[in-house]
Every structure is written in structure tokens, then in C-alpha cells.
Amino acid sequence: MTMEKARLVRIVESILHGTGFKTARMDFKGSCFDLVGNKLFLLLFVKVLQNIDSLTQEQADDLKRLAKFFQATPLLVGIKSKNDELEEGVVYERFGIYALNPQTLYDVLVENELPAIFAERGGFYVNVDGELLRKLRERRGYSVGELARMLGVSRKSLQNYERGEQAVSLDVALRLEEIFDEPIAKPIDILTAKVEANLNVKPENQLEREILERLKGLGMGVIKIRKAPFNAVSREDEVRILTGIDSKKTSTTVKRAQMVSEVSKIIHSDGLFIIEKTKTEVIGEVPLIPKETLREVKDADELIDIIESLKREIRKKLFIPNQR
């Protein structure tokens, strides 16, 4: 991570901390998220970038999968798009994910000011309350044609505005608010954004295929993740598991497990690493088990019991109170 990127991550993390979020930070090259934040019923997966155009399709797809799986909100926070700085109070979008600069994030979280302006090719736009616009026009006695001429737009465009079928350029929106002396732009609630995601992702190698199929065979829902310190997310009823897979335990495996341990605490999930050949142990609060143990498990409940048993053992050694 570059110094500029690390500084930006710290800024975003401080904004989240300042508004009561508990956070965990990633330091994993190419990860689809850099921060996860949790506050009451709001869970955020945040990707931090100097330039939001550097987000890859693969990262975006994984970020949306995690948001869908955990019922969370994905966000991009950055400084630039191409060579231009991101404007304060403006929402951008990349691959269907909202993007904004740190000041706009601060305004949303600290000042409770939702942005209304969004950027698209060709300029800045807002969505207006079409029903309110129609009522204001009729109350002032303007016909569609008259108001359209005042705004410098076609009758058809104004009718589309009133039906909520067309976004309004920022210049036109400002003229409307001058004419009626009333705000008509709809705020963009970036914190409750829902995204669609393709959850059907193929394993990257034979070991992954074998382990993910075994987890499915135990009755678990499994989604492959490519750009994160874990290889998949698994679910059995309300129990969610960040699942890592490796052929052998290495220093990278340990680092990944430590990150999964921190993330799992924030999102109230479990972590598990399944290694082709290893001894059973616990890193942080993430058990590492050999593939052979998984093969012997009869169902998802037994696997969850193994995870909980190993976590209890490590807590006893470290005198950590049970988190469940």
C-alpha cells in the first residue's frame, strides 16, 4: 500500500470511527475492500482508491457479492476520476457502486447531509420529485409550454421530469429552485443502496472446487470470492463463515487468517481456513483445519460445532470472554 493510499484509508477510517462505527482494515493486495465498518444495523464494505477509475470489474463484482451476501452497503471513496478531482456533494458511480470523496462521506455521516447531485457523462444531474414539480407548476399557473420555455428545455423533457422518467441537469434544477423557491431535488441515500450481484462464480483451482463442493454437500450456501483474504463466504442459517483455502500453511496464510479474524469480529461472523495438509490450530480466532477433517464432517452443524469448540479452547488459554 502506497503512503498516499494508506493516508486516505486512515482518513476514511477516522470518519467512520468519529460516527460510532467499529472498523477493520485490510492490507491485502488487490482486495475488493479496504475497510469494513459496522454500526448498529448498518454494515459498510468500503474500497478506498486515489482514482476511482482504477477499480477493476473483478473487484467490483466481489464487492457487490459481499454486499449482497451480508446485506451490506458497498462504497467507493476516492480523490480523483481520470484527471479531475471528485467534487464535494456529488455522487459518482463505477460498475453500479456509489463513489464519493472523503468530504462527502463526512457530510453524510457527520452532518447528516445526503447529496442530491450525481455525475454522468456530460455533466452533473439530479433526480427531482416529479409530483411536487407538477403541483408547484400548476399552483403558479404555468402551462407545460410556458415553464419549458423559461427553463430552455422541450415540453417533452419537462413532462418526463414530472413523471420521474428523466434526470434533470444541474443548471435546470437550479433554475427550477429559483423559480419556485423550494428544493425539489431528491437526495441520494448512499447508505442503503442495494446492488445486484452474480453469485455464481467458478472455483479457481481443483482444491477450491473440491472444498467448496464439500461445503455445499454439507448443506451450506457457498459463494466464491476472488479478491479478498478469504476464498469464499459460507452460510448455514444465521451462521456466516469467511472461508479461506490453501494447499499448505505459509506466512501469507497466517496473514490472511489474521485479517479474517479482525473482519469476522466486526461483521459478527466466523472464520475458517481449510488447508490441504496441516495440523489443527487457531490463528487469532480463526481455526485452521486439514482437508481430511472436513471430509469426515457429517453436516454443517458438526462443522460449526468444531469451529466453536476450537474458538472456546483458544479463549480459555487467552482468557478471552465468549463473544456469542
- Beta-bridge mates of residue 39: 42
Range 266-291 average pLDDT? 94
Who contacts 31 (Cβ-Cβ below 8 Å, separation ≥6)? 59, 227, 228, 229
Q: Are 159 and 64 in contact (CB under 8 A)?
A: no
Any domain includes 278: yes
Cell of 299: 453436516
For residue 317, pLDDT over 70 is answered with no
Which residue's C-alpha cell is 455525475?
119
pLDDT (tens digit per residue) in 223-272 = 999 999 999 999 998 999 999 999 999 999 999 999 999 999 999 999 99
For residue 323, pLDDT over 70 is answered with no
Please report how the helices 170-180 and 144-151 are oriented relative to each other, as an axis angle in degrees rounded to 10. Answer: 120
Give the length of the chain. Answer: 324
Cα torsion for 118, 124, 127, 128, to the nearest 10°?
Answer: 140
92, 115, 138 - which closes a domain? 115
- Beta-bridge mates of residue 123: 120
Which residue's C-alpha cell is 400548476?
138
Supply the range of the domain harboring residue 130. 124-180
The percentage of the chain sitting over the pLDDT mark of 90, rounded to a whole number, equals 90
pLDDT (tens digit per residue) in 50-71 = 999 999 999 999 999 999 999 9
CATH of the domain at 233: 3.40.1350
Residues 17 and 110 both lie in one domain = yes
Residues 229 and 165 both lie in one domain = no
Instruction: Give the number of domains in the chain.
Output: 3
For residue 9, name the pLDDT band (cuts at 50, 70, 90).
very high
Q: Are 272 and 230 in contact (CB under 8 A)?
A: no
- Beta-bridge mates of residue 76: 47, 99
The percentage of the chain sitting over the pLDDT mark of 70, rounded to a whole number, equals 97
Other CB atoms within a 10 A radius of the CB of residue 221 amount to: 15
pLDDT at 320: 54
pLDDT at 322: 56
For residue 129, pLDDT over 90 is answered with yes
For residue 173, name the pLDDT band (cuts at 50, 70, 90).
very high
For residue 313, name the pLDDT band (cuts at 50, 70, 90).
confident
Residues 8 and 111 both lie in one domain = yes
For residue 78, name the pLDDT band (cuts at 50, 70, 90).
very high
Which residue's C-alpha cell is 441537469?
169
82, 115, 148 - which closes a domain? 115
115, 150, 168 - which closes a domain? 115
Cell of 257: 487468517
For residue 314, name the pLDDT band (cuts at 50, 70, 90).
confident
CATH of the domain at 33: 3.40.1350.10
CATH of the domain at 142: 1.10.260.40
For residue 324, pLDDT over 60 is answered with no
Beta strand pairing status for 97-100 and 73-81? parallel
Residues 227 and 299 both lie in one domain = yes
